[in-house]
Amino acid sequence: MQNHLNNETSPYLLQHADNPVDWYPWGEEAFKKARKEDKPIFLSIGYSTCHWCHVMAHESFEDSEIAELLNRHFVSVKVDKEERPDIDSIYMAVCQAFTGSGGWPTSIFMTAEQKPFFAGTYFPKRTRGGMIGLRELLKSIHKMWTNERHKLLEQADEIIEHLEQENMAGNELTESDDLINSAVGLYQRVYDRVHGGFGSTPKFPTPHNLLFLLTCYERIGDDSCLKMAEHTLLQMYRGGLFDHIGFGFCRYSTDERFLVPHFEKMLYDNALLIMAYCKAYGVTGDMLYLEVAEKTAEYILREMTSHEGGFYCAQDADSNGEEGKYYLFSPEELKKLLGKLDGESFCRHFDITESGNFEGKNIPNLLKSNYRKNCSNEALQRVLQYRKERNFLHLDDKILTAWNSMMIAAMCTLYQSSGKHIYLDAARKADHFIQTKLCDENGLYVSYRDGKRGVKGFLDDYASYMFAQLALYSATLEENYLKRAEQLCRDVQDKFQDQQNGGFFLYGTENESLILRPKEDYDGAVPSGNSMMAWNLVRLYQLVGDDSYQSQAEKQLNFLGTKAKQYPIGHAMFLLSLMDYEMPPPKVTVVMGMQGNIDLQAVKLPIDTIVILLRKPTEEYPLKEGKTTFYVCKDHKCLPPVNDLSEIMKVLRGD
């Protein structure tokens, strides 16, 4: 049978279009049916490359017994979290309130008025290992809905009241030194001194944490910050978290060594990691970090980029029904492919053994090898081609505004670090894609696939795209990018700002109204929209010099400061913004003379340098000797103007 998902464009929803469960997409049709038939809603939220979403689908949603229970007693609704981050945000908070944790698939039971009364994540079909089975849960909830509905409705009201209180936030002045020192102390406490990374397993890359630590070292000279960041970056690259055959990073490590990943690859992880490795290269000068960033970009351009220039979402962890099968090798198959001598050399380099390097299996890694020695490119290409032909790997080919914006910024950063125009060209092409496919006179849209746009954009889309425009301006000094960033800033204020309590709501005045209007401030896998806006506002003030941007930046920093005090390492992007405001990076104002354009790329300025280009001299910034003149400000003081580009680097290096 086909359910109500067959006309959707989301790869995740289409994966469930042939389920015996009578799924509906989120919308009034489902809620109307639930009201008319007096049934509760079963809401299932996930995404197409989610391993446990696949497991629950195979066990339960493809099962006729479970489908019969759901179809008889519930109205079932499927949501792609990547297309509807507003729905995902609200009901993930519900799940965390009920269970103390969250994740996908998210399973919510709620009324037709969208009020949740029970929540969880993955449920097996039958009760086992202390986990209630979905079959038993469905029967129990149906019984309560029939006989004790008032208890469920009371529970729904209580959870909504709790979340509304959580959503309230005050404005307090932020002491930057206290917050930054507290964050560094917390990172030191959870840092794994043996294997790198932070906390226990699973270990996530969380690149904005590493960007914060590298910036801390740069601005305040804390050697421990550099040590933690470098150790983590090296171990993530050396382990199986990095795909040493086709490049790019997987989602997270299931062990403490970064050896065994959860094998899905996400666009946003790789975007932020490119930025982190570029930053490490800028801070240390170690070419290895730049090489890792370039390898990651090579993977993105080869496998995750549409012919029109937009970047795809993700690649699946599973192939042929088995997680990680695509990435694993035996010594025999490699020796057969490469020949005995080359195959043995390849296996030694990547620790591929007869007994296996985990659970009897082999994932290529450099934890035991000289990680600065490169493998033969010819061998890598042969293994890569063999891997593609051996197994199929599902691609989620949605193109998301927010994630594309992060990759645009990453490509700009890599261009500034490497000087290679291929990266700037990719950034420009993706920006053109957003402008032509994901924008109209009404603003931004969330997603694009098969010629169709998704719903109107949320805060994350606007904040991330503004971030991308500022990155494009930094890479090119073309004023149109700066002007577009200012327009996006006005759009954010018009559509998302909370005038009364500060900060920005996740969904705007043009989006669908839900049971709550959250303001996300926590930096999870990606920085929150509010943290991104803090960074954007600080940078816009530093570039434009408008006092209104300074006022807005201070308000946003104060709004986020309250939450950050509770758990500062959960707000790394905000702390980066705070450092940029309190301890700004170097600023170079270029006043053009008669000789025309200047190639600032040839100077290799630090990638976070604030560069302002003036086409004509002003009273404040006159030309020196009639030539192009550079005004450098650093450490809260401005230095005498110079005409020679090389003098800038001496000043920035402190020579």
Mean pLDDT computed over 217-232: 96
Instruction: Say how far apart CA 151 and CA 142 lie, in whole Å.
Output: 13
CB contact at 8 A, 518 and 167: yes
Helix 149-167 × helix 85-99 angle, to 10°: 110
- Least reliable range by pLDDT among 277-281, 285-289, 625-629: 625-629
- In three-state secondary structure terms, 581 is helix
Confidence at residue 648, expressed as pLDDT on a 0 to 100 scale: 75
- Read off the pLDDT of each residue in 542-550 and give the average, rounded to a whole number: 94
Evaluate the CA torsion angle 149, 150, 152, 153 in order and state its sign. positive
Taking each helix axis from N to C terminus, what angle separates 176-190 and 207-220, rounded to the nearest 10 degrees?
120
The span from the CA of 413 to the CA of 279, in Å, is: 9
pLDDT at 246 over 80: yes
Tell me: pLDDT of 300 over 70.
yes
Q: Most distant CA pair in the chain: distance in Å?
A: 88
Concatenated DSSP letters for 8-70? ---HHHHHTTTSSS-EEESSHHHHHHHHHHT--EEEEEE-TT-HHHHHHIIIIIT-HHHHHHH
Give the Cα separation of 573 and 520 in Å (integer).
13
What residues contact 576, with CB distance under 8 A and at least 6 apart? 208, 211, 212, 215, 535
DSSP symbol at 465 = H
Predicted local distance difference test score (pLDDT) of residue 645: 75
Q: In angstroms, how far is CA 240 from the centroid of its own chain?
A: 20
**Section 230-252 average pLDDT:** 97
**pLDDT of amino acid 329:** 96
Given this model, what pLDDT does residue 264 score? Answer: 95
The reported pLDDT for the residue numbered 166 is 72
Which band of pLDDT confidence, cut at 50, 70 and 90, is reported for residue 636? confident
Instruction: Dump pLDDT digits (tens) for 324-348.
Output: 999 999 999 999 999 999 999 999 9
Determine the pLDDT at residue 176.
Answer: 72
What's the first-to-final CA gap in the chain, in angstroms?
73
pTM: 0.93
The yes-or-no verdict on residue 267 having pLDDT over 70 is yes
Q: Reading across the β-sheet that carries 106-110, which strands appear in turn?
A: 23-25, 75-80, 41-46, 106-110, 116-120
Please choose, from the candidates 375, 328, 372, the residue with its C-alpha nearest in 3D space to the C-alpha of residue 349: 375
Query: pLDDT at position 593, please?
Result: 78
Strands 395-396 and 637-638 come out as unpaired
Smallest CA-to-CA distance from 476 within 622, 584, 617, 598 is with 598
pLDDT over threshold 70, residue 504: yes
Least confidently predicted of 74-88, 369-383, 396-410, 626-640: 626-640
559 pLDDT tier (thresholds 50, 70, 90):
very high
User: What CATH code would you report for 11-167?
Assistant: 3.40.30.10
Other CB atoms within a 10 A radius of the CB of residue 378 amount to 10
Pairing of the two strands 439-440 and 443-444: antiparallel
pLDDT above 70 for 233: yes
Average pLDDT of the chain is: 93
CA–CA distance, 610 with 539 (Å, rounded to integer):
8
What pLDDT does 403 receive? 98
Q: How many CB atoms lie within 10 A of CB 432?
A: 13
Both structure tokens of 121: 């994540």
**Fold adopted by 176-316+396-582:** Glycosyltransferase (1.50.10)
Q: Which residue has the higher pLDDT, 170 or 177?
A: 177
Token pair, residue 612, equals: 């302002």
Q: Which residue, 473, 411, 428, is CA-closest to 600? A: 473
List of residues 6+ apart from 80 with CB closer than 8 A: 10, 11, 12, 13, 45, 46, 47, 48
DSSP 304-339: SB-TTSPBP-EE-SEETTEETGGG---HHHHHHHH-
Q: How confident is the model at residue 385 (pLDDT cuts 50, 70, 90)?
A: very high
